Amino acid sequence: MECLPASDLRHLLAVLADLAGSDADTLPARLLAALPRLIPCDSVAYNVVDPVHALTTGRVEPADGVSPALIQSFERHQAEHPVIAYYARTGDGRALRLADFLSQRELHRLGLWAEIYRPLHTEHQLAAALPARRPLVVGLVLNRERGAFTDREQALLELARPHLGALMREAELRTLLARGLEATGWEVVRLGPDGRVRVASARAERLLATYIGADPCVRRLPAALDGWLRRQQHCILGELPVAPVLVLLGTGGRLVVRFLAGGTSGTDDLLLLREESTAIAPRALAGYGLSRREAEVAAAVAEGLSNDAVARRLGIRVGTVEKHLTHAYDKLGLAGRTALAAWVRQVAPRPA
């Protein structure tokens, strides 16, 4: 990645600070207003594209010339867009230019150009994808008629991308919280300016007591959690994030902790807590060529159990566990225990 000047980094931090505290309803508009301040462009779009069903929703600023008929034309021709195809195929949302895939002569041969980009006076495009449930592609798209996007501008958008993704996740959580907690599974701890607990639900207090021995009568967070929280707050001030999610393991479960900054609106900082089961059902691995026992061993390994612990759970010998692991590695084409655990976590449904 190109080395960016300090002025670009200060500019990026200012834009991110302005966006902090957004909810899911306000973030797209604020994002579209902020991006041209970061990277000059003629127009900018926030698009949610479904490549499977050729559907597109979103918004463009300025919206001049963007009619329902033009959106329908884009849906007809979106399969020609090489960046969308790349994101949908790989899940790699890095910042890319249209020119990374097509020359201008090749672009001008496409129906995509004739029906959409030519009427919109778009010759150059820079895009990045934000986290989304596949096959959806959530894209930020910057357009210009004159002046190709530079390596520096591409590097700047790529540097911004993970932070914008984190802001999007926080905005979604903030909206869920505003609409009520029952459907989210998250418990909330509200923090005062000094980092002390201002308000916590009864279940949040029980979770903190269970996983880190916190005393509900003491309003200061335990040292380990307080240290992690301070690092997250420093991130808002311009330092790189250390761990946006903290995971605390317990017996038969884990506690996921997220930090939600109050932003510039003066609202409280929040800690969001959610308890998750660490158990993986072996039946979730059906259809991959593993025997029932091999699937049981693989699921236990993905939970972090040692071979001895797997043997005790299943009532078999350690040597038998090792044999089943070897067979699983061979059948799945995996290099070892770490690769197997990662594979299981990828293909098995997330525990409720």
Q: What is the mean pLDDT of the chain?
A: 83
Q: What is the pTM (predicted TM-score) of this model?
A: 0.57
Q: What is the pLDDT of residue 241?
A: 43
* pLDDT tens by residue, 34-61: 999 999 999 999 988 877 777 777 888 9
* C-alpha–C-alpha distance, residues 158 and 128, integer Å: 7
Residue 242 above 60 pLDDT? no
Lowest mean pLDDT among 20-29, 101-110, 129-138, 160-169: 129-138
Pick 248 or 81 by higher pLDDT.
Answer: 81
Average pLDDT (186-194) is 79
* pLDDT tens by residue, 221-233: 777 788 787 777 6
Residue 266 above 60 pLDDT? no
The strand pair at 245-250 and 197-200 is best described as unpaired
Q: What is the pLDDT of residue 94?
A: 93
Residue 317: count of CB within 10 angstroms of its CB: 11
Q: What is the pLDDT of residue 2?
A: 67
* C-alpha–C-alpha distance, residues 260 and 84, integer Å: 31
- Whose tokens are 């991110």? That residue is 16
Pick 345 or 78 by higher pLDDT.
Answer: 78
Residue 243 above 80 pLDDT? no
5: Cβ contacts below 8 Å, ≥ 6 apart? none
Residue 65 above 90 pLDDT? no
Cα 276 from chain centroid (whole Å)? 18
- Domains in the chain, CATH or no CATH each: 6-178 (3.30.450.40), 187-277 (3.30.450), 282-347 (1.10.10.10)
Pick 102 or 186 by higher pLDDT.
Answer: 102
| 236 touches 157 (CB < 8 A) | no
